[in-house]
Structure 1
Amino acid sequence: MKVGIMGGTFDPVHIGHLVAAQHACEQANLDEVWFMPTHVPPHKVEAPKATPEQRWAMVCRAVEEHSHFRPFDMELKKGGVSYSIDTVNELLLQYPTYHFAYIIGADMVQYLPKWFKIDELVQKISFIGLQRPGYIWDMELLPEAIRKAVLPVQMPLIELSSSLIRKRLAEGKSVRYLVPDRVNEYMVVNGIYEPQAAD
């Protein structure tokens, strides 16, 4: 079984995440993509606006109709800061016959040498780097062990981010078509990211 790991804060999950997962699934011949929300991401200073429970609920709704996508709550259950090496060790313990690959953006590929225990990580899993139009990366700048662990995958340019969605919702604007319908419904019903009343 070849599984792609789509990690992230997912605050909220949006169609850009789903498009990236689909392209990775097709071009890297993955059997499944597991969407794994982080509890506390190590690379981000700002805490997520939505609660872990809300982010999990949105991910579940986003992937429910795709036969190859699965929500996976290992890092949310564990709590605390999520380091990839700890997650990978736990995954390989639970699924010793599976091959795992992290799906990451092109900008994150260049950042790989700074990942915690990256030398150990590249011995255990591979990486799928999403190459979007207009972004140039230089694989030659990466150490050989990391370079060998990265599979480049082409992806269309989608100018969409969770922060943009939060901003639009905070301004009272619609995000329909930017997130799956069931995610949009959940955000509206639960008042997540809604406009803040002025003091």
Structure 2
Amino acid sequence: MQNTTLKQTTIQTAPDELVAVNGQRPQVGIMGGTFNPPHIGHLMMADQAANQLGLDYVVFMPDANPPHVDHKETIPAIQRVEMVKRAIAANPLFKLSLAEIDRGGISYTYDTIVTLKQQHPEIDYYLIIGGDMVDYLPTWHRIDDLVQLVQIVGVERPGYSKQTPYPVLWVDAPTIALSSTQVRQKVQQGCSIRYLVPEAVADYIEEEGLYHE
């Protein structure tokens, strides 16, 4: 039942509409994460990467069960998907994919990229991650194979080094020290989250009573 509801909220991606122009292959960004909740930092990262790299669009892909070394509690996928849908609605460069949620289980990025490339070998994919996640790359599932399949794009974050043994393409974007954890903490403390998340996301959090416990 939950998957049926989720599919009704999906913003359809349209890779079949992308064709090579002047010999250039379509370029698509992938922005994965738990998005618990999505905040303005996520949107800034995706928008800066899309514009600086000339991407055709960026797909936001909420995970089913994050493979983090440090366990993170999350809320049901249906609520995270609805927040992402609201967060990205105003930007035509942004789309939503339920690929990892529909697949279920642990959301290993390697498995996702392999599937995408099998389905659309004509597309070049760019995996957009924050500078904090670059530090985690050595722990990622089949990371040495993953970097052969996709270009990893790192977005600087305050307090995190750009040094990494992996081929990361860094994007020069405004740095903002904001995380989903901080947003949840603000809600728990009864503080304002205005300007930390899109207004539509803040409204949904209030409507659903999320993060108050």
Alignment TM-score, normalising by the size of structure 1:
0.88
Aligned to 1:174: 192
Q: Which residue of 1 aligns with 2:107?
A: 82
1:137 aligns with 2:137: no
- The 3-state SS of whatever aligns with 1:23 is helix
Paired AA for residue 38 in structure 1: D
Deviation string, structure 1 residues 88-114 (Cα, Å, up to 9, x no partner): 111112222111111012232243233
2:146 is aligned with 1:121: yes
Cα–Cα, structure 1 residues 159 and 132, in superposed 2: closer, same or farther, change >3 Å?
closer
Corresponding residue for residue 158 of structure 1: 176
Q: How does 1:176-195 map to 2 (within 5 A)?
A: 176-194=194-212
Give the match for residue 46 of structure 1: 72
2:30 aligns to what SS in structure 1?
A: strand
Q: Which has the higher helix share?
A: 1
- AA at the equivalent of 2:117: L
Q: CA deviation at 1:23?
A: 1.1
Match in the other structure for 1:98 = 123
Could you tell me how far apart the structure 1 residues matched to 2:98 and 2:42 are?
17
Which moved further from structure 2: 26-35 or 8-17?
Answer: 26-35
Are 2:77 and 2:101, in contact at CA under 8 Å, matched by a contact in 1? yes
**Structure 2 runs not aligned, ≥5 long:** 1-25
Q: Deviations over 1:134-163 (max 9, x none)?
A: 543224xx1xxx32xx21111212121111
Total equivalences in the alignment: 187
Distance verdict in 2 for CA 1:178–1:166, change over 3 Å? same
CA distance in 2, matches of 1:173, 1:128: 33
Per mean C-alpha deviation after superposition, the further-off stretch among 177-186 and 129-138 is 129-138
Find the aligned partners of 1:135 and 1:116 in 2 and give their Cα distance.
22
Query: How far has the Cα of 1:83 moved from its partner?
Result: 0.6
Query: SS of the counterpart of 2:161?
Result: coil
CA contact (8 A) 1:41 1:82 kept: yes
Are 1:40 and 1:47, in contact at CA under 8 Å, matched by a contact in 2? no
CA distance in structure 1 between the aligned counterparts of 2:183 and 2:159, rounded to whole angstroms: 23
Looking at structure 2, the residues matched to 108 and 187 of structure 1 have their Cα atoms a distance apart, in angstroms, of: 25
